[in-house]
Amino acid sequence: MTYPILDYLKPLTAQEIAMAQALTFMGDLVKDGSHSWDLVARTRTNLPDAALYDLFSFQAIEGVTYDIFSHSYFDPFLIKVYDNLGRAIAVDTEVPGDYGMDYLPKFVAPYSGIMYVEAGWNQGAADINKEASLNIYADLDTAPKPTNTLTGTANPDRFEATPSNDIVDGRGGIDTMAYSGKRADYTIVKNGSAFTISSQVTKDGTDSLRSIENLVFSDGAYDMGYGDLTQALYIAYFGRAADLGGLKSFQTQLASLAAPSSATELSARYTKDASVKYLIDSFGASAESKALYSGDTKTFVKAVFNNVLNRDPQQAGLEFWTKAIDSGSLTRANASLSILAGAQTNTSAQGVNDALLVNNKISVASNFTFGLETDGKAASYNGAGPAGVARDLLKSVTASTDANTFQSTVKLAVAGLPAVARSAPEHAQDLPLAQFDGPAIALTGLDSHVTSPVFSA
Residue 447 resides in a domain: no
Displacement of CA 140 from its chain's centroid (Å): 26
Please check whether residue 92 is in contact with residue 134, taking contact to mean a CB–CB distance below 8 angstroms. Answer: no
pLDDT of residue 210: 92
Residue 265 resides in a domain: yes
> Does 157 lie in the same domain as 131?
no
Please check whether residue 108 is in contact with residue 57, taking contact to mean a CB–CB distance below 8 angstroms. Answer: no
Domain final residue pick, 80, 113, 142: 142
Determine the Cα–Cα distance for residues 314 and 325; give it in Å rounded to an integer.
Answer: 17
What are the residues facing 360 on neighbouring strands?
none
Q: Which domain holds residue 301?
A: 227-430
Please check whether residue 286 is in contact with residue 431, taking contact to mean a CB–CB distance below 8 angstroms. Answer: yes
Total tally of structural domains belonging to the chain: 3
Burial class (CB in 10 A: 0-12, 13-18, 19+), 145: exposed
Burial class (CB in 10 A: 0-12, 13-18, 19+), 255: middle
> Does 239 lie in the same domain as 198?
no
DSSP string covering 400-411: T--HHHHHHHHH
> Does 124 lie in the same domain as 56?
yes
Domain final residue pick, 115, 142, 169: 142
pLDDT of residue 427: 41
Model confidence pLDDT, tens digit, residues 428-442: 444 433 333 333 332
User: Over the chain (457 residues), what is each successive 10-residue block's mean pLDDT?
Assistant: 85 93 80 73 91 93 91 92 95 74 92 93 79 92 74 94 87 93 92 90 79 94 92 96 94 93 94 94 92 94 95 94 96 95 90 94 97 91 93 95 91 86 43 35 27 37
> Does 168 lie in the same domain as 54?
no
pLDDT of residue 126: 64
Displacement of CA 454 from its chain's centroid (Å): 29
CATH code of residue 95:
2.60.120
Q: Which of 21, 97, 107, 98 is nearest to 68 (CA)?
A: 107
Q: pTM for the complete prediction?
A: 0.65
Domain final residue pick, 171, 206, 223: 223
What are the residues facing 117 on neighbouring strands?
56, 81
Model confidence pLDDT, tens digit, residues 268-283: 999 999 999 999 999 9
Spatial CB neighbours of 197, under 8 Å, sequence gap ≥ 6: 161, 177, 179, 186, 187, 188, 189, 206, 207, 209, 215
Residue 122 resides in a domain: yes
Model confidence pLDDT, tens digit, residues 70-93: 999 998 999 999 999 999 999 997
> Does 198 lie in the same domain as 234?
no
> Does 284 lie in the same domain as 188?
no
Please check whether residue 180 is in contact with residue 193, taking contact to mean a CB–CB distance below 8 angstroms. Answer: no
pLDDT of residue 96: 57
pLDDT of residue 346: 86
Determine the Cα–Cα distance for residues 318 and 324; give it in Å rounded to an integer.
Answer: 10
Alpha-carbon distances, residue 368 vs 1, 51, 105, 426 (angstroms): 19, 34, 34, 19
> Does 51 lie in the same domain as 157?
no
